[in-house]
Structure 1
């Protein structure tokens, strides 16, 4: 049964999951998503919009005001009704396919279970954003302190090389593109298509980043991560699989890959999978590392449920100039060709020619001889 609006109510079948990234793999257009996702983040919200859900019932606060989370706003901007409830204890009792009816924006019935709900409005989101901005300095201070504490504890991991694992992919003196499932990662990947075509970099997908590459027609050479958001189709695409495990070697993804019969290597390391991917490319001799969609600021990490970014700070310090961050590049991309741009491009191209004329004796001699020839023919 698909959801439909009937006389002020919303009825339909539900899809339930504590992890929104798992739910969006199963939900179909017109169904109602039941999640438990505090401070709904941008990526989750855009995935729900893309899935064309009829409504979202969140059994956790969609926006708390602790920081500026944008997920709730995105849903409402795209016409997706959002309801909050404090009935997280009921999540294990709910199942995909059960029928829900939302009545008067205050209560919903899932089968025979009544759940008190509250509709989230733009006015409330604005109030929570104002609260978040007022608390920004305190929150940033706590985030920095936490980052420094863990950086001090974990610095030895990043000074030392990663544990050795075999790889048939040659990265020595090559460009390496690392695709992470971060903000605007799909748009950014489209924007750098010409770069991929021209330089043919080694393609590394971090978890769901592998699916993003496949969606754009590129096959990843390597997939790195804890494999919690990558599809089975991506795992079977022929890429080398490197499972990012905890420092003690525990790898929750091991059971899944063994069940699928896919060969893999285990790489134990602290930090995020994207950080491990950068370190791995660096140690394999990459000339340049281009990170697309990578998490790099406080909001990014708060949305991931992390209270600091020690590993990212240390990795970026280690990478130095070799690392190029392509996050948000699509925001600078112009779809329309403007004739005035040709003027600026032409002017820019002329600058090095003029500079060469001034600096190089050979070029100066060329222009001098050309001028003498012109004077000769004018006589």
Structure 2
């Protein structure tokens, strides 16, 4: 009798294996990602916000037609991906979009992308050592970026002078803002943590809530209803109901749609189909800056920014083309603006009734202790001691 022989199982090929998700438009691509996918995109200078969304989608690898770091400035996105253990490959070139088919199984190994046994793309692996070298070189390019920023600021101020100085052209909101605090929520890598950190402030102060783009849905997910929704021109021109939920749009008292100056198009048709009558705001500012501007023009007592730019690195990393808009808007808003990350350290909470009674009790005890050590206090204690002993005896009688 011949016994069956066991053949050794073939070892799996090395590298990262996953389903290909291919799209030049990163925003569209992210919405259809599943855990374990291999992303093929074209995103020069990956920013932190986009990288965090890829991490949240639990992708296995990111194949970039362009460099993750161009050298113009030290962008923050690649470090987020590397920290999450995601394999990075860049510089594969635009031919990858024709060679790689969406939905096919890919394998990424040592700078090569395989579909079956065929090599469909070749690039350079971006690991931590290479990233640190490229970021160090990119820091030398900040001077050039700041020179460009100076020129852009002058041009932006020329176009937006009336808005920045006098508020001309801004829509009149139905929401009352004057003398009230306003919280502006912008979609960013840390917006959920920042919003969680100010929940007590939101419950106690009941500020006006402004959701910028998908920041409106961030508020809804946290259990708060946005009063004002601000939509960027790209959001409204694409598909409002997919970027911002119909529930958020219908529930807001004011929906503001940004339109580029001189643009005669009306990107409000999809909103009107939802039963929403938006306000048109013609400006070159970003949606984030427009939200801050509307709060400032409404004479808000305080403006709290959630998920917004916090420093120069954030400005350069997230919206380099609109740095002038953000900088000049911050100057316009002035001292009323507070970052959400700083608010918990500044806000001690509302004083409640029991707080007052506790302070009074502690004060009375302190006064009693001070009097007790004086001769007059000792005389009072001696006079009251028989009465106190009698009271204790009577109380003890109830339990005997």
TM-score, normalised via structure 2 length = 0.74
Which residue number in structure 2 is paired with residue 280 of structure 1? 294
User: Does residue 1:234 correspond to 2:234, yes or no?
Assistant: no
- Please state how far the C-alpha of 1:259 moved relative to its aligned partner: 5.7
Look up the SS of the partner of 2:184 in the other structure: strand
Which residue number in structure 1 is paired with residue 268 of structure 2? 254
Which residue number in structure 1 is paired with residue 41 of structure 2? 35
Relative to structure 2, which stretch is displaced further, 148-157 or 127-136?
148-157
Which residue number in structure 1 is paired with residue 218 of structure 2? 212
Matches of 1:95 and 1:322, distance apart in 2: 51
The CA deviation string for residues 285-306 of structure 1, in whole angstroms up to 9 with x for no partner, is 3222111222254332332352
Which residue number in structure 1 is paired with residue 305 of structure 2? 291
Change (3 A) 1:129 1:316: same
Which residue number in structure 1 is paired with residue 382 of structure 2? none
The CA deviation string for residues 194-229 of structure 1, in whole angstroms up to 9 with x for no partner, is 111111111111112122222222221221022656
User: Does residue 1:45 correspond to 2:51, yes or no?
Assistant: yes
Which residue number in structure 1 is paired with residue 283 of structure 2? 269
Look up the SS of the partner of 1:236 in the other structure: helix
Matches of 2:52 and 2:265, distance apart in 1: 29
Matches of 2:373 and 2:17, distance apart in 1: 86
- Please state how far the C-alpha of 1:275 moved relative to its aligned partner: 1.4
Relative to structure 2, which stretch is displaced further, 128-137 or 117-126?
128-137
Name structure 1 gaps, 5 residues minimum: 334-348, 354-362
Look up the SS of the partner of 2:245 in the other structure: helix
Matches of 2:329 and 2:306, distance apart in 1: 15
The CA deviation string for residues 162-212 of structure 1, in whole angstroms up to 9 with x for no partner, is 435454322232111001123422211111111111111111111121222
Change (3 A) 1:125 1:320: same
RMSD value, Cα: 3.5
- The question of whether the paired residues in 2 share the 8 Å contact of 1:163 and 1:268 is answered with yes
- The question of whether the paired residues in 2 share the 8 Å contact of 1:41 and 1:71 is answered with yes
Matches of 1:324 and 1:251, distance apart in 2: 35
Look up the SS of the partner of 2:220 in the other structure: helix
Which residue number in structure 2 is paired with residue 127 of structure 1? 133
Change (3 A) 1:107 1:16: closer
Which residue number in structure 2 is paired with residue 150 of structure 1? 156
Name structure 2 gaps, 5 residues minimum: 1-10, 347-354, 380-400
- The question of whether the paired residues in 1 share the 8 Å contact of 2:197 and 2:341 is answered with no
User: Does residue 1:245 correspond to 2:259, yes or no?
Assistant: yes
- Please state how far the C-alpha of 1:50 moved relative to its aligned partner: 0.8
Which residue number in structure 2 is paired with residue 97 of structure 1? 103
Which residue number in structure 1 is paired with residue 79 of structure 2? 73
The CA deviation string for residues 108-143 of structure 1, in whole angstroms up to 9 with x for no partner, is 339988222221111110101111233334443443
Matches of 1:262 and 1:17, distance apart in 2: 31
Look up the SS of the partner of 2:320 in the other structure: coil
Which residue number in structure 1 is paired with residue 390 of structure 2? none
Matches of 2:214 and 2:374, distance apart in 1: 64
Change (3 A) 1:372 1:305: closer
The structure whose Rg is larger is: 2
Which residue number in structure 2 is paired with residue 186 of structure 1? 192
Look up the SS of the partner of 1:14 in the other structure: strand
Matches of 1:85 and 1:292, distance apart in 2: 35
* 2:202 paired residue among 187, 196, 200: 196
Matches of 2:305 and 2:85, distance apart in 1: 33
Matches of 1:276 and 1:197, distance apart in 2: 25
- Please state how far the C-alpha of 1:319 moved relative to its aligned partner: 2.0
* 1:168 paired residue among 174, 179, 182: 174
Relative to structure 2, which stretch is displaced further, 18-27 or 88-97?
88-97
Matches of 1:259 and 1:15, distance apart in 2: 32
Matches of 2:196 and 2:318, distance apart in 1: 24
Look up the SS of the partner of 1:178 in the other structure: strand
Matches of 2:108 and 2:62, distance apart in 1: 11
Matches of 1:62 and 1:263, distance apart in 2: 41
